[in-house]
């Protein structure tokens, strides 16, 4: 530090999901230890002019990790103290489908499979349309929607919270898998790059009162949309060549190094690399490869997962037949700790399961197995599924470390809503002679679509939609033994040529009241609506003036 400069520093902590608690600025003279991960540094010359300013992040290593209670475990469950524990790392690439990973990440996948014994799961099935609903599955073991079989022949599986919505509940002290790991003594890290809130918050959800991880980049997310600080963050990221969320790799690398001798559990969620642009990830293959190669000594002691939450849903590709399939089939690979790579039972189970139909609930069960049963048994006795020692929660999935059933589990069996199922009945075009059914479907669809604006209290800002008569309203149907009929439809609406997809039962009622937007809506909706669960149904009235 020059003698003619004076520098001041403030630590940044999250007050809640969208605001900060900043400490008073402290004058820095000589060496100085910061008790935070994110801090604002500003230096002045003798004339009082700013000569340096930045927002920095690093890992402020904790001297002591508080011991916590484990109220979620059954009282009679214990793990031998000498049993070895392994790090667990989850890296989510938002909107990465299985086949898009094959196309875009050949070098990264080759490294994970050959150097870390990674096993890919080909048929991972989403449990919902968006990131939050799928995160509820693999991080919380929660289904926020009712589940029916394709033809409503079985009893409806009600949403876990009945009429309540997880979006409007705080998630602390519930079933978050990272909280379980933290309570079991793991040092934890959570990092996301989406500026408008975390996965459990966007667009207007409660999320967590208290951050579930010991280390978090959340203050940096808040600063990136701060009315004053956002420009500084953006400018400094450009100077450092941070783009598409890859700054999180530096944060993660620092964490791995500083806690080399501690057991760790991390969750990174990278939204900005694919979301809205399928092509950008092709150039990132080398970045992912170098990251894993650089940190291989840490990943050698871990179960590491690289995965998508769902496939692309914002690009024209998502409107094609293969695009609709990929949307429901996210990527998933799990790597094995080095000293378990000779565990034939474990490896064979994973390889056998790699060709089977699985859901996000199976990922949750696998993470729970690593934490509890498999750890207790030294990752032996993996010949069958085992009941989990968890209180007050029914685990919906099955561990991938153990054999999955030889028969094909249905989407209903796996608590996957039928509209998201990879396996589906054969649909055929509705005959043109069935005009009565077509008219009822058209009227029911557009009524349900406009009712979304009523539900979201958006009728003053957003215009009522109509079917665009210059475009085809495609209706298909499927039946089982002449008992039940399910219709699915692809609609284009006016104004804006918005594209929607939905399914109806034989009473012309939208299944699960779910209408899915298939194209990008940012320019049509964000001029008048910023944060709403119903933003995808909006075409701003102001655009018609």
The pLDDT of residue 128 is 95
For residue 208, CA distances in Å to 16, 18, 36, 173, 453 come to: 8, 11, 20, 9, 28
The pLDDT of residue 481 is 56
In tens, the pLDDT along 384-400 reads 999 999 999 999 999 99
User: Residue 475 burial (CB < 10 Å; 0-12/13-18/19+)?
Assistant: buried
DSSP letter, residue 156 = -
Domain end residue (candidates: 420, 437, 464):
420
Q: Does some domain include residue 151?
A: no
The pLDDT of residue 2 is 56
Q: Which of 41, 170, 151 is nearest to 478 (CA)?
A: 151
On whether both 363 and 487 belong to a single domain, the answer is no
**Site of tokens 């991938």:** 400
The pLDDT of residue 33 is 83
On whether both 468 and 380 belong to a single domain, the answer is no
Q: Does some domain include residue 46?
A: no
CATH of the domain at 110: 3.40.720
The pLDDT of residue 62 is 96
SS3 call for 332: strand
User: Rounded to 5 degrees, what are φ and ψ at 15?
Assistant: -85, -45
Domain end residue (candidates: 371, 396, 420):
420
On whether both 391 and 281 belong to a single domain, the answer is yes
Domain that holds residue 341: 87-142+174-190+264-420
On whether both 279 and 402 belong to a single domain, the answer is yes
The pLDDT of residue 20 is 87
On whether both 377 and 521 belong to a single domain, the answer is no
Q: Does some domain include residue 507?
A: yes
Q: Does some domain include residue 389?
A: yes
Instruction: Work out the angle at residue 412's Cα, subtended by the Cα atoms of residues 407 and 415, and round it to the nearest 5 degrees.
Output: 110
Work out the end-to-end distance of the chain between its first and last CA atoms, rounded to an integer number of angstroms: 57
DSSP letter, residue 284 = G
On whether both 383 and 465 belong to a single domain, the answer is no
On whether both 379 and 509 belong to a single domain, the answer is no
The pLDDT of residue 307 is 99
Q: Name, in order, each residue with C-beta under 8 angstroms of 371's C-beta and a sequence gap of 6 or more.
A: 88, 177, 180, 181, 184
Q: Does some domain include residue 372?
A: yes
Rounded Cα distance, 195 and 392, in Å: 35
Q: Does some domain include residue 512?
A: yes
DSSP letter, residue 56 = E
What is the mean pLDDT for each group of 10 consecutive residues in the chain (545 residues)? 81 86 90 90 93 95 94 95 96 97 99 98 97 97 92 85 90 96 98 89 90 95 88 91 94 98 98 88 97 98 98 81 94 98 97 98 99 98 98 97 95 94 89 93 97 96 96 90 80 96 91 89 91 93 92
Instruction: Work out the angle at residue 189's Cα, subtended by the Cα atoms of residues 188 and 192, and round it to the nearest 5 degrees.
Output: 150
In tens, the pLDDT along 197-231 reads 789 998 889 999 999 999 999 999 999 888 889 89
For residue 378, CA distances in Å to 53, 57, 340, 347, 371 come to: 50, 37, 10, 15, 11
Contact between residue 384 and residue 119 where contact means Cβ atoms under 8 Å apart: no
Residue by residue, DSSP assigns 379-438 as T---SS-----BSS----S--TTSPPPSSPPPTTTTT--GGG-SS-PPPEEPPTT-HHHH
On whether both 393 and 434 belong to a single domain, the answer is no
Q: Does some domain include residue 234?
A: no
Q: Does some domain include residue 445?
A: yes
For residue 255, CA distances in Å to 37, 216, 259 come to: 11, 11, 6
On whether both 405 and 448 belong to a single domain, the answer is no
Number of domains observed in the structure of the chain: 2
User: Rounded to 5 degrees, what are φ and ψ at 171?
Assistant: -100, 0
On whether both 496 and 408 belong to a single domain, the answer is no
On whether both 186 and 331 belong to a single domain, the answer is yes
On whether both 282 and 415 belong to a single domain, the answer is yes
User: Which segments of 142-259 are extended strands (E)?
Assistant: 187-192, 215-216
β-bridge mates for residue 479, sequence order: 485
User: Residue 405 burial (CB < 10 Å; 0-12/13-18/19+)?
Assistant: exposed
Domain end residue (candidates: 420, 452, 480):
420
């Amino acid at each position: 530090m020059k003698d003619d400069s004076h520098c001041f520093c403030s630590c940044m902590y999250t007050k809640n999901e969208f605001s900060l608690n900043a400490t008073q600025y402290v004058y820095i003279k000589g060496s100085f230890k910061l008790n935070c991960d994110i801090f604002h540094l500003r230096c002045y010359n003798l004339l009082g002019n700013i000569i340096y300013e930045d927002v920095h992040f690093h890992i402020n290593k904790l001297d002591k990790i508080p011991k916590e209670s484990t109220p979620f475990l059954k009282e009679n469950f214990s793990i031998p103290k000498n049993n070895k524990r392994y790090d667990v790392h989850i890296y989510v690439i938002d909107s990465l489908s299985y086949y898009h990973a094959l196309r875009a990440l050949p070098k990264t996948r080759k490294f994970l499979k050959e150097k870390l014994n990674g096993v890919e799961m080909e048929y991972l099935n989403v449990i919902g349309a968006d990131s939050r609903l799928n995160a509820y599955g693999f991080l919380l073991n929660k289904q926020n929607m009712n589940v029916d079989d394709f033809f409503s022949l079985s009893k409806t599986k009600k949403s876990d919270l009945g009429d309540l919505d997880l979006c409007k509940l705080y998630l602390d002290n519930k079933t978050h898998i990272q909280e379980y790991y933290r309570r079991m003594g793991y040092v934890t890290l959570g990092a996301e790059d989406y500026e408008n809130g975390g996965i459990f918050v966007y667009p207007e959800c409660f999320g967590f009162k208290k951050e579930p991880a010991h280390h978090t980049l959340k203050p940096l997310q808040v600063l990136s949309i701060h009315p004053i600080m956002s420009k500084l963050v953006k400018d400094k990221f450009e100077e450092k060549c941070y783009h598409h969320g890859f700054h999180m790799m530096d944060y993660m690398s620092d964490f791995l190094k500083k806690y080399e001798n501690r057991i760790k559990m991390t969750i990174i969620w990278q939204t900005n690399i694919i979301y809205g642009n399928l092509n950008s990830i092709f150039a990132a293959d080398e970045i992912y490869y170098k990251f894993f190669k650089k940190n291989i000594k840490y990943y050698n002691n871990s179960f590491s997962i690289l995965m998508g939450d769902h496939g692309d849903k914002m690009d024209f590709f998502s409107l094609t037949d293969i695009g609709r399939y990929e949307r429901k089939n996210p990527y998933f690979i799990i790597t094995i700790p080095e000293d378990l790579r000779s565990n034939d039972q474990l490896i064979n189970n994973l390889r056998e399961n790699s060709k089977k139909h699985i859901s996000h609930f199976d990922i949750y069960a696998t993470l729970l197995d690593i934490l509890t049963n498999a750890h207790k048994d030294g990752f032996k006795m993996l010949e069958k599924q085992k009941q989990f020692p968890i209180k007050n929660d029914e685990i919906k999935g099955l561990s991938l470390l153990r054999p999955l059933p030889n028969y094909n589990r249905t989407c209903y069996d796996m608590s996957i809503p039928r509209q998201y199922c990879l396996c589906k009945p054969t649909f055929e075009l509705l005959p043109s002679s069935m005009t009565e059914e077509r008219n009822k479907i058209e009227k029911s669809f557009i009524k349900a679509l406009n009712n979304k604006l009523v539900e979201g209290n958006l009728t003053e800002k957003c215009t009522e939609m109509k079917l665009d008569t210059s475009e085809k309203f495609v209706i298909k149907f499927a039946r089982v033994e002449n008992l039940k009929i399910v219709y699915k439809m692809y609609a284009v609406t006016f104004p804006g040529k918005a594209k929607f997809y939905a399914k109806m039962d034989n009473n012309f009622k939208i299944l699960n009241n779910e209408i899915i937007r298939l194209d990008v809506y940012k320019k049509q909706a964000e001029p008048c609506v910023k944060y709403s669960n119903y933003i995808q149904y909006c075409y701003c009235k102001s655009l018609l003036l």
